[in-house]
Structure 1
Amino acid sequence: MTTTPADASSRNTRPPKAQAALGVGVVVQDGQGRILLGRHHGGTWELPGGKVDPTHESIAEAAVRELREETGLEVDAADVRVFAMLHDVVGGINRVSMGAEVTVRSGAPRVTEPHLISAWRWTGLDALPGSLFAPSAQVLAAWRPDLSIEHPPAHRLMIADGTAAAGTDI
């Protein structure tokens, strides 16, 4: 007869020690192929996005929520495509950024968090600003490697149709 140590069941239910941050960056395109960028008060331009809530929220649901909270734009989670997972380390914390994309056909983004973002702007891929927020630059570089966007190095795992391709560094 095998005995189970008294702490085995609690070990399976205890939360792990936090050592990572999980977020999503959303590449939002309009009907003209432009992408949406926000001007942060810190001086950088960034994609809509943010942390994934510690609930049963999927990455696509987090993308929808963050887009709505930050810009007022409404999209359906079924229309969001998660295309990459990026990993780097900042200040001793693992940062995992999921890249997602969605196209919006109507609606105008508005500044809903003026303490963070001063303006949202539709930007052509040929006119991307140089001062991109690092996770946004990493997401954009994974989304469109042909754009040659400067960004900090990150490990990249591409996701296609629900399956992951081999991980690479970017």
Structure 2
Amino acid sequence: MTADSMDAPPRNTRPPVAQAALGVGVVVQDGEGRILLGRHHGGTWELPGGKVDPTHESVAAAAARELCEETGLRVAVDDVTVFAMVHDVVAGINRISMAALVRVDDAVPRVTEPDLISTWRWTAPEELPGPLFDPSAQILAVWRPDLAIEHPAAHHLPIALAPRARA
């Protein structure tokens, strides 16, 4: 053992070198089968979602938190189904987007972050506006492959069977 290795923290307590960003996108489906999309000031339409906090927060908890922070809609963590992991690479960073689904029967979203989103809109999955934010497009393509949504190449790993979309 060298003097340098004796001064270093034990391997299990050293943080890894950052090489990935972890987020969650939430497919919110209402009682009519529509999904919720927000119009970002950057010009894209996107699902509610965001980063998973590095505080031992679960993906489902992050989905419920982000949904509430962005839209004012509250759902129980137990009502969130995490159904896939989507992985791509942007500028040399692995981007991991977890795909989650929640159902709400009757909900009116609010714009709670007007510096980011100008409006929330319920949309039939077959009538998606464009352009979509890439991670949202990737998640929607995993959720409903029958829609043939254009999106950047990504790997995906099913985690759970996504509940069937409402007709």
The CA deviation at 1:130 is 2.5
The CA deviation at 1:129 is 1.1
**Partner in structure 1 of residue 26 of structure 2:** 26
Distance, in Å, in 1 between the alignment partners of 2:36 and 2:61 is 19
The CA deviation at 1:160 is 1.6
Q: TM-score when scaled to structure 1?
A: 0.89
Question: SS of the residue aligned with 2:10?
Answer: helix
Is the 2:70–2:112 contact (alpha carbons within 8 Å) kept by the matching residues of 1?
Answer: yes
Question: SS of the residue aligned with 2:137?
Answer: helix
* Pairwise CA RMSD: 1.3
**Partner in structure 1 of residue 112 of structure 2:** 112
User: Which amino acid letter does the alignment assign opposite residue 14 of structure 1?
Assistant: R
Q: TM-score when scaled to structure 2?
A: 0.91
Higher relative contact order (CA 8 A, sep 6+): 2
The CA deviation at 1:11 is 1.4
The CA deviation at 1:24 is 0.2
Q: Could you say which structure has the higher strand fraction? A: 1
Written as runs of structure 1 = structure 2, the 5 A alignment for 1:139-154 is: 139-154=139-154
Distance, in Å, in 2 between the alignment partners of 1:126 and 1:116 is 25
Distance, in Å, in 2 between the alignment partners of 1:150 and 1:82 is 22
**Partner in structure 1 of residue 38 of structure 2:** 38
Is the 2:30–2:107 contact (alpha carbons within 8 Å) kept by the matching residues of 1?
Answer: no
Distance, in Å, in 1 between the alignment partners of 2:141 and 2:111 is 25
Written as runs of structure 1 = structure 2, the 5 A alignment for 1:80-91 is: 80-91=80-91
Distance, in Å, in 1 between the alignment partners of 2:38 and 2:7 is 48
Query: Any idea what the Cα deviations from partners look like across 1:27-48, whole Å, max 9, x if unmatched?
Result: 0000000000000000000000
Runs of 4+ in 1 over 2 A off after TM superposition: 5-9
Query: Is 125-134 or 71-80 further displaced after alignment?
Result: 125-134
User: Which amino acid letter does the alignment assign opposite residue 38 of structure 1?
Assistant: G
Identity %, equivalent residues: 75
How many correspondences in the alignment? 157
